[in-house]
Amino acid sequence: MVRSLSFIGLLFCLGQTLSVQQAVAESEKQSKSTVGTTNVSIVLPDMIILHYYSGLTLNFEEFSTAENRGSAEFDVQWSGEAESSNELTDENTELNLPDRVSLQLPNVWAIRGLSPSGNAKVSISVNNNILTSGPSRIIIEEGSGNIEIEDNQGHSGTSINTSLRGITPSEATIGNVRITLNFSETTRAGLHTGGQYKITAETI
C-alpha cells in the first residue's frame, strides 16, 4: 500500500513538471517581436554672430621735441627791422612726423555661425570719416588701401570671404581693421569725436 502511494506521488510530481515545461514551451511559441528604425533629420537655418566694439578710443603717444637749426645772422636797422636769409620756413621746419598714419587695430571683430557654404562675407565701410574738436579735424581716409578688414587666414580688403567654423566661441574667426588717418587739418590736441565705420557680416 505504501509503495502504491509513493508511485502515485511520483507520477503526480512528474505530471506537474511536464505541465510547467509544456506551459513554458507554449508561452515561448506565443511570444512575438519586431523592430522598427527611425531616421532623424535636422534642418538648421543660416546663422551668424558678429562680435565688435561699439566704441574705440585711440590714444596716441605723447610727442614733443626741440630741434636745433644752428645759428643765424640778422641785418638789423635802427628802425627795428631785422632781415635774415636764415629765417625758419615751411621747408626747414619739416620733422619726420607724418600727417598721414596707417595703423592696424588688432582683434576688433569676430564672427561665428553656420552657412550652406561654410563661409561668410565680411565688409567694412565708413559712415562718417571726419572727427572734430572745434575747427580741428582728423579725416579717416576712405577706399581700398585706407580702410580695410583682415581675418586670421590672410584675407584683406574692403570686402572679404572668410570661413565660418561653427557656433563654438573657440572656433570664431577673429579679425583686424586697418585704418588710415589724415592729420593735415588737425590743429588742436585733445579728444576728437564723430568718426564711425561699419562692419557687415553675411552668410553665403
Q: How does residue 2 score in pLDDT terms, banded at 50, 70 and 90?
A: very low
Residue 114 belongs to some domain of the structure: yes
**pLDDT at 41 > cutoff 90:** yes
| Residue 108 lies inside a defined structural domain of this protein | yes
Give me the pLDDT at residue 32, please. 87
Q: What is the pLDDT of residue 95?
A: 58
pLDDT of residue 8: 52
User: 138-192: per-residue pLDDT in tens?
Assistant: 999 999 999 999 998 899 999 999 999 999 999 999 999 999 999 999 999 999 9
Find the DSSP H helices in 66-128.
none
Spell out a b/e string for 80-99, using b for 16 or more CB atoms within 10 Å of the CB, else e. eeeeeeeeeeeeeeeeeeee
How far, rounded to the nearest angstrom, does the alpha carbon of residue 204 sit from its chain's CA centroid?
17
19 occurs within a structural domain: no
Per-residue pLDDT, 77: 79
Q: Would you say residue 40 lies in a domain?
A: no
Largest Cα span, the chain: 170
In a domain, 107, yes or no: yes
> Does 7 map to a domain?
no
- CA–CA distances in Å: residue 152 to residues 56, 71, 104, 149, 155: 21, 53, 13, 10, 8
Domain range spanning residue 142?
A: 47-53+99-203
Q: In this structure, is residue 175 part of a structural domain? A: yes
User: What backbone phi and psi angles, to 5 degrees, belong to 20?
Assistant: -65, -45
Q: Tell me what pLDDT residue 22 has.
A: 64
What confidence tens digit (pLDDT) does each residue in 118-137 have? Answer: 999 999 999 999 999 999 99
The CATH number linked to 113 is: 2.60.40
Residue 180 located in a structural domain: yes
pLDDT digits (tens, 9 = 90+) for 42-95: 999 999 999 999 999 999 988 777 766 677 777 777 877 767 766 655 555 555
Domain count, the chain: 1
